[in-house]
């Protein structure tokens, strides 16, 4: 039965997730997230019931104790690792029991229909622990809460008695609805930039013991859902292809500065002067040679883990130029563009922000080593 083993796996991953997030926040290191924006998922598979009217394990239930199930989800991602979704799910119910907990032989057959709606949190463990990348395979977990309804029929083949959801048992009524907690673990495989396939196992714990219309030791009834699905990711930043902007690079000219010298003694002056007024010599032009080897770029992404390729950044933000990778202080930084003036790099940063890199900013490198940008360099 899945109520111990499967739940322990999910909560172990959740604890590890919370620990990782807290350590990441305490380190003070910031990194850019790659957002998928929206996801629409449709899935189908089979369900196994676990409760008072259940005797067999996962594989033994394939002999007549599985039911068709299907669901649809819509999810909004608010980072590269977390998404909040709404799920609607339908399933049949089918299970058998040949012995009561007291050891008395019986022959129970449970059938029915089940439906629930829930709000759930998706955690992409692969992006969370190894950093965002354009990898094809990722592992994720789901936990949520919602409300469920069902209509069940329990038949005792030995006595011929039949019970239905909603029947009265003494002073109690077998309920037909209750809160539910879905917990799942899945694998996602990207087949293109927008389409993905996924395999998932989801355990729904109903906070009630009346789904099987029988009370015989189980506190909560459960449905284990094994499914395959297809997802479509909507990326609002990639709907419109950014307009290509052609930049003309003007030749760099030396900057002229002027050195003003004060002549307190009024020497070489032919005009009459007023006491206390200082004469200033004509400005003397000097040639200034620009600092060589300094290049200005626009940083678009940073992560603790090295990206296997730049294809994701190119396709997501329509980057046509070169992408540069620099590693320092445990962080991989990715930038684009290569300019000799700060102003040109600022223009590119504005273009990148319009393409969806909301926190793009200008950085300076000298011999591939990042340096601070001084006020003089911005002039």
Same domain, 161 and 294: no
Distance CA(164)–CA(340), nearest Å, equals 79
In a domain, 134, yes or no: yes
Given 238, 254, 271, the domain boundary residue is 238
Q: Count the Cβ atoms, other than its own, within 10 Å of residue 92.
A: 16
Given 238, 255, 277, the domain boundary residue is 238
Helix (H) or strand (E) holding 348: helix 342-354
Same domain, 101 and 232: yes
The conformation of residue 239, written as its DSSP 8-state character, comes to S
Q: Residue 189 contacts by C-beta under 8 Å, 6 or more apart in sequence?
A: 136, 137, 196, 197, 198
Domain of residue 319, CATH code: 3.30.70.1070
In a domain, 246, yes or no: no
Q: Residue 314 contacts by C-beta under 8 Å, 6 or more apart in sequence?
A: 320, 323
Domains held by the chain: number: 2
In a domain, 264, yes or no: no
What is the full per-residue pLDDT of the chain (379 aa) written as tens digits?
Answer: 554 555 555 556 555 544 444 444 333 333 444 446 899 999 999 999 999 999 899 999 999 999 999 999 999 998 888 999 999 999 999 999 988 777 788 889 999 999 999 999 999 999 889 887 778 899 999 999 999 999 999 999 888 889 999 888 777 789 999 999 999 999 999 998 889 999 999 999 999 999 999 887 788 999 999 999 999 998 754 444 444 544 454 444 443 333 333 344 444 444 444 444 434 333 333 333 345 689 999 999 888 888 888 888 888 888 988 899 998 888 889 999 999 899 999 999 999 999 888 889 999 998 888 899 898 888 7
Same domain, 137 and 221: yes
In a domain, 156, yes or no: yes
**Selection from 180, 150, 140, 112 nearest residue 41 by Cα:** 140
Residue range of the domain that includes 349? 289-378
> 372 phi and psi, to 5 degrees?
-75, 145
Same domain, 293 and 215: no
Which long-range contacts does 282-287 make (Cβ < 8 Å, 24+ apart)?
283/258, 283/259, 284/258, 284/259, 285/256, 285/257, 285/258, 286/256, 286/257, 286/258, 286/259, 287/254, 287/256
In a domain, 251, yes or no: no
In a domain, 268, yes or no: no
In a domain, 154, yes or no: yes
DSSP string computed for 146-159: EEEEEEEEEEETTT
């Amino acid at each position: 039965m899945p109520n111990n083993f499967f739940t322990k796996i999910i909560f172990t991953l959740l604890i590890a997730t919370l620990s990782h997030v807290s350590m990441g926040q305490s380190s003070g290191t910031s990194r850019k997230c790659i957002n998928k924006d929206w996801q629409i998922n449709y899935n189908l598979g089979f369900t196994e019931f676990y409760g008072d009217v259940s005797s067999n394990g996962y594989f033994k239930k394939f002999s007549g104790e599985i039911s068709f199930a299907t669901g649809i989800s819509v999810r909004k991602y608010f980072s590269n690792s977390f998404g909040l979704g709404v799920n609607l799910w339908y399933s049949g119910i089918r299970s058998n029991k040949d012995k009561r907990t007291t050891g008395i032989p019986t022959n129970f057959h449970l059938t029915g229909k089940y439906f629930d709606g829930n709000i759930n949190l998706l955690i992409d463990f692969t992006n969370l622990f190894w950093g965002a990348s354009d990898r094809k395979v990722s592992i994720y977990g789901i936990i949520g809460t919602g409300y469920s309804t069902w209509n069940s029929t329990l038949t005792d083949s030995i006595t011929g008695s039949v019970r239905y959801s909603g029947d009265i048992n003494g002073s109690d009524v077998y309920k037909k609805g209750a809160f539910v907690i879905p917990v799942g673990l899945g694998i996602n495989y990207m087949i293109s930039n927008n389409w993905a396939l996924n395999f998932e196992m989801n355990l729904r714990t109903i906070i009630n013991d009346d789904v099987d219309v029988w009370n015989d030791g189980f506190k909560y009834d459960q449905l284990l859902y094994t499914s395959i699905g297809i997802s479509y990711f909507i990326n609002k930043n990639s709907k419109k292809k950014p307009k290509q902007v052609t930049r003309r690079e003007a030749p760099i000219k030396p900057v002229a500065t002027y050195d003003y010298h004060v002549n307190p003694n009024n020497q070489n002056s032919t005009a009459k002067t007023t006491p206390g007024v200082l004469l200033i010599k004509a400005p003397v032009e000097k040639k200034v040679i620009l600092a060589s080897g300094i290049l200005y770029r626009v940083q678009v992404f940073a992560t603790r883990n090295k990206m296997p390729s730049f294809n994701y950044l190119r396709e997501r933000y329509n980057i046509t130029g070169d992408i540069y990778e620099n590693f320092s202080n445990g962080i991989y930084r990715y930038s684009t563009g290569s300019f000799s003036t700060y102003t040109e790099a600022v223009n590119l940063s504005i273009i990148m922000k319009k393409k969806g890199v909301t926190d793009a900013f200008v950085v300076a490198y000298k011999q591939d080593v990042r340096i601070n940008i001084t006020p003089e360099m911005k002039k």
